[in-house]
Structure 1
């Protein structure tokens, strides 16, 4: 009874033997349930509609449940329509073209079918947990229907009356929507986002809004997330970077409508400074149409070039402030021979394909012009005052880290920096060396300091600058390449100058189970059960590449949810699904809608990649371990009550 004070606090929630005993019984029973289904998704890159569909459909698992429940009792087309109804209940019902009596009959049949699917989806959960997910207005009705016995003849009329009454009073449509939403919630117990929510796709802000509403999830930061987080800390180089990428992909809705970033000053500046410049190498990728903000692509190209030049200047200044980054050779804007319009790279001279730099002083190329300074002041104010951006960034901090160990799986976006010899590489931060697990801890610490320390304090500014290194530094785990070749892409454009060498981790880990086991040992995970799960590098499915690496110890799940990557991958993303019986991978098809706004047949191909030796229960998970600790504490409290050390309260 060394922790008597803790037990006295616990006794406030469980004031007597009966309360303690009931809770122990409840927790022990929960540990016997099958584990809930976990979903792992990476590299969303702003593709809101595709991501929302993956979540609504539970990566095709809901369609599988429909098949399992009804087998051959209804047609395949009816199964497909029922699945689409579950994904998009309101839109589906709006599109129904039925007369009143036909509609009522459809509602009765549909409610019966949805209840059967909901029963199957709820089998892994306690009745209490299911009730918490049900909308309060329908809690009693849904709870009764879910626990109706099909062979209970005496209550059959009672249960049917619920359904008939819902139809008769005209609220069956709302009830159907509530049941569909419940099936969606029950189908995904926990969601893991393995990095890169932002950039390229049109609306990462809408993805963030959806994630905030999701009950049980975690996020492992990707380099594109870090870039936005760094911009929110006040890092102006990263502010310019995220604007540049948005302009590159025509994402005006995100900047102006989503986050309220004022681009008028940039537009006016670019139109003035680059009025006669075609900016042909800065034309945007038109993968998505803006819904609220239309900007001519020629003006977009001028804005794109203007912010890119500013970014290169600001990055050069940042590198100069931090010689410890060892990146002076990447200040390419300072190494250009402006008289001849050439740049020397690795001993070879290249002619710049764009040599118009009206705001650049060759004698001091890193200095912003007076107008550029004023422009960045306006942009910085927009970032600082964007409530929606800071709401999202705070969520990334509260639910995210650079890596996570959960249920014997190690999750991180990019890599663990390694040498060619397979040793953990060292990054010196604030004068101290970090590698392996300690490097991830240090990155988390610096990222938190950048956002939460007092703004403009020396430590905060140092940490904010370091966010730029995490975004694109050679030894950053979320970047994992020897350099970022943005400047070369714009001003040289040759394939040989665009190459970014991946960290040795990628080749070593993908081909060696031994390297993976070394990583498991570093993080204290049992190699027999463990897996590494990361994204970052698109898997070329169309070329026969397999996302399962290192004899099943490593899963690379970047399959190209972003439309920008689909020509390279040949599919539209992966979801790794971990239920109580097996690990499986869903291979997604490109998201397409019909004229009614509902998706076409987007059901992915789901294949099993690892079968569990025995069914995994809650007791086998991290949650199960936490529950066992609670049981141990409650057992000690029970003993204290029985011995009279702590007095019961009636």
Structure 2
């Protein structure tokens, strides 16, 4: 045994010397070993997985605030039948929206002081239950500085200590007497929210369709523990921030289509006036009917506003098609020549030839296209796009959000024996990983995804002006072998200009057929270095058509799809309003959410989002921190500390 330690100390002497600076005595090293060993035996923290938020900030924030219903379930567990249903409902809503509910209570409660006293005690009980699985040190880090000592005292109240009961009651009464009850309640509600979700995983697509992607990102930037797997809509905005004109055009087109130009103009403060002026000049005589808004309720817009948006929508769409054509022409390795459609149009006859078949265009007004050189931007289009490029690249808020997506995000993540990615691992019809040529080399599977991530990181941070690198942002958005897109084409042109349904069909990558195979899912997991029996693939991207009987559980539970339609634009397909996956110490739980109407209605009616729960896996033994990735790191730290202790005992390193 001594020989073992001697060899280990010798092999790791530099690391041990560095460790001795942090733990300069035997006592300090022993204390940390005891602390870490204790942490290993705590229950694992609760992980929450969400995907495809698509700008629906009110629904997302509500799900985050109520921890997918976990907080309400804790309230039911703690109080059971001891308080009435409406009291439970109000307590839950207070935790979700403390400022707003406090304002409401002040207008409704006749005996406010009594309500404060009762509610403060109840909040402490909820906070105590939520925090029970964590160390005092971790809870302390979550506490606001103003109330750190007081909350900590109340959380560790022992009801058996009769002598201290008056002491605890005195704390509560004093908080009320000195008019700090509101501030204290808000503080403890925030602590409950934070501790209810130990780790948040976002499986892609924060942007587009809904009205508040920028609000969601501001919220995510405040979260204490988060990772993000990029979706194709996220990479589109990241590409726009990097200066890709095609990506910029696409972000504006989608925002116009879904009536969300406010995200660009007000959310990011980007000036769209040059584009609007251009559109009104060149499309003033065009009704642009094919470019109408895709919204459930147009009453929020005037006829004049709708007319302007439609013209902006068409103008930027034509610019987008031109810019995309240029990318395809300069990147033959993308193998996307079938998407070069502007040169296939007979502009006099108003027809287009695609794959040897001729179609009549439903709109043949193209005032800015030169039939002899259809992909060339006009001088005015170039001027508009250059102004937009400078606005996107120099926008402080957009760049801050993009850097956050790079720092907390990635193409995929392996975490606690699960593989998280938004879209797919591109495969051919035989289920073999597709090979893609990049810089003369062929890549497939994990190597392909690693290579693409390296390229886009290199471009954004080095900004080396190599067009091919920046074009990969756009390819990830729409390319046939993109892991984030996973279809043979994005039929944007066809949706706007052709009536034939067949030509608009977008065929999914073979991955979506093979993901039902347990063996194929195990093969994918092994490709990413995961071989544990309890491992899973967790996907978003393709909405689960629940109302048609589709299940989010694939391949006998090896693959879980959590895009249930949090975005309103997809709810007619899914029949629900989003999934959350919860992974706690007891097992895996899938939560299906019903439609969330609005924050205002939730507060006014004190009505929580309706959610249903499905247990996917239940652990025979409660999982502990030692069973997690964090546990693996802690075990390494313990080994290092034990080597340090041996070095102290042997005199190899002296105590300070």
Report the TM-score range of the alignment, normalised by the length of the smaller protein: over 0.9
Taking the TM superposition and a 5 Å limit, the aligned residue runs for 1:155-234 are 155-234=164-243
TM-score, reference length from structure 2: 0.96
Correspondent of 1:570 among 559, 575, 578? 575
**Quick one: distance in 1 between partners of 2:235 and 2:536?**
24
2:502 alignment partner in structure 1? 496
**2:56 pairs with 1:51:** no
Is the Cα–Cα contact under 8 Å of residues 224 and 471 in structure 1 kept in the other structure?
A: yes
CA apart distance, 1:385: 1.0
Change (3 A) 1:99 1:590: closer
Deviation digits for residues 336-363 of structure 1 (CA, Å, limit 9, x no counterpart):
1112111122332110001000001111
Is the Cα–Cα contact under 8 Å of residues 338 and 362 in structure 1 kept in the other structure?
A: yes
Is the Cα–Cα contact under 8 Å of residues 543 and 574 in structure 2 kept in the other structure?
A: yes
Correspondent of 2:595 among 578, 583, 590? 590
Correspondent of 2:71 among 62, 79, 92? 62
**2:517 pairs with 1:516:** no
Change (3 A) 1:155 1:293: farther
**Quick one: distance in 1 between partners of 2:434 and 2:576?**
34
What SS does the aligned partner of 1:368 have? coil
CA apart distance, 1:614: 1.8
**Quick one: distance in 2 between partners of 1:499 and 1:292?**
31
Change (3 A) 1:596 1:235: closer
Correspondent of 1:605 among 599, 612, 626? 612
Deviation digits for residues 118-151 of structure 1 (CA, Å, limit 9, x no counterpart):
1110011100100110111101110000000112
Taking the TM superposition and a 5 Å limit, the aligned residue runs for 1:116-515 are 116-287=125-296, 296-456=305-465, 458=466, 461-510=467-516, 512-515=517-520
Change (3 A) 1:449 1:493: farther
2:552 alignment partner in structure 1? 547
**Quick one: distance in 2 between partners of 1:357 and 1:604?**
48
What SS does the aligned partner of 2:568 have? coil
Change (3 A) 1:289 1:61: farther
**Quick one: distance in 1 between partners of 2:105 and 2:301?**
29
Is the Cα–Cα contact under 8 Å of residues 101 and 603 in structure 2 kept in the other structure?
A: no
Change (3 A) 1:393 1:467: same
**Quick one: distance in 2 between partners of 1:595 and 1:506?**
38
**Quick one: distance in 1 between partners of 2:203 and 2:476?**
16
**Quick one: distance in 1 between partners of 2:150 and 2:359?**
73
**Quick one: distance in 1 between partners of 2:362 and 2:344?**
16
1:561 alignment partner in structure 2? 566
**Quick one: distance in 2 between partners of 1:99 and 1:85?**
14
1:632 alignment partner in structure 2? 639
CA apart distance, 1:92: 0.5
Change (3 A) 1:294 1:173: farther
2:22 alignment partner in structure 1? 13
**Quick one: distance in 2 between partners of 1:200 and 1:18?**
57
Deviation digits for residues 391-429 of structure 1 (CA, Å, limit 9, x no counterpart):
000000001110010001000000011112111111111
TM-score, reference length from structure 1: 0.97
**Quick one: distance in 2 between partners of 1:125 and 1:213?**
21
CA apart distance, 1:101: 6.5
**Quick one: distance in 2 between partners of 1:368 and 1:222?**
29
Is the Cα–Cα contact under 8 Å of residues 417 and 480 in structure 1 kept in the other structure?
A: yes
CA apart distance, 1:497: 1.7
Q: Which runs of 5+ in 1 are unaligned?
A: none
Change (3 A) 1:178 1:438: same
RMSD: 1.7
CA apart distance, 1:493: 3.6
Q: Which shows bigger deviation, 24-33 or 76-85?
A: 76-85
**Quick one: distance in 1 between partners of 2:442 and 2:43?**
43
What SS does the aligned partner of 2:534 have? coil
CA apart distance, 1:169: 0.9
What SS does the aligned partner of 1:257 have? helix
**2:627 pairs with 1:620:** yes
**Quick one: distance in 1 between partners of 2:267 and 2:521?**
40
Change (3 A) 1:604 1:595: closer
**Quick one: distance in 1 between partners of 2:271 and 2:43?**
50
What SS does the aligned partner of 2:221 have? helix
What SS does the aligned partner of 1:260 have? coil
**Quick one: distance in 1 between partners of 2:472 and 2:270?**
23
**Quick one: distance in 2 between partners of 1:547 and 1:148?**
43
**Quick one: distance in 1 between partners of 2:90 and 2:49?**
26
Change (3 A) 1:235 1:81: same
CA apart distance, 1:294: 11
2:4 alignment partner in structure 1? none
Q: Which shows bigger deviation, 396-405 or 594-603?
A: 594-603
**Quick one: distance in 1 between partners of 2:304 and 2:537?**
43
**Quick one: distance in 1 between partners of 2:278 and 2:74?**
56
Q: Which shows bigger deviation, 518-527 or 90-99?
A: 90-99
1:534 alignment partner in structure 2? 539
**Quick one: distance in 1 between partners of 2:380 and 2:274?**
10
Deviation digits for residues 151-173 of structure 1 (CA, Å, limit 9, x no counterpart):
21110000000001111111111
| Aligned length, in residue pairs | 645
**Quick one: distance in 2 between partners of 1:206 and 1:344?**
43
Correspondent of 2:91 among 79, 82, 87? 82
**Quick one: distance in 2 between partners of 1:22 and 1:426?**
52
Is the Cα–Cα contact under 8 Å of residues 89 and 607 in structure 2 kept in the other structure?
A: no
CA apart distance, 1:285: 2.1
What SS does the aligned partner of 1:296 have? helix
**Quick one: distance in 1 between partners of 2:641 and 2:297?**
56
Is the Cα–Cα contact under 8 Å of residues 251 and 290 in structure 1 kept in the other structure?
A: no
**Quick one: distance in 2 between partners of 1:224 and 1:296?**
26
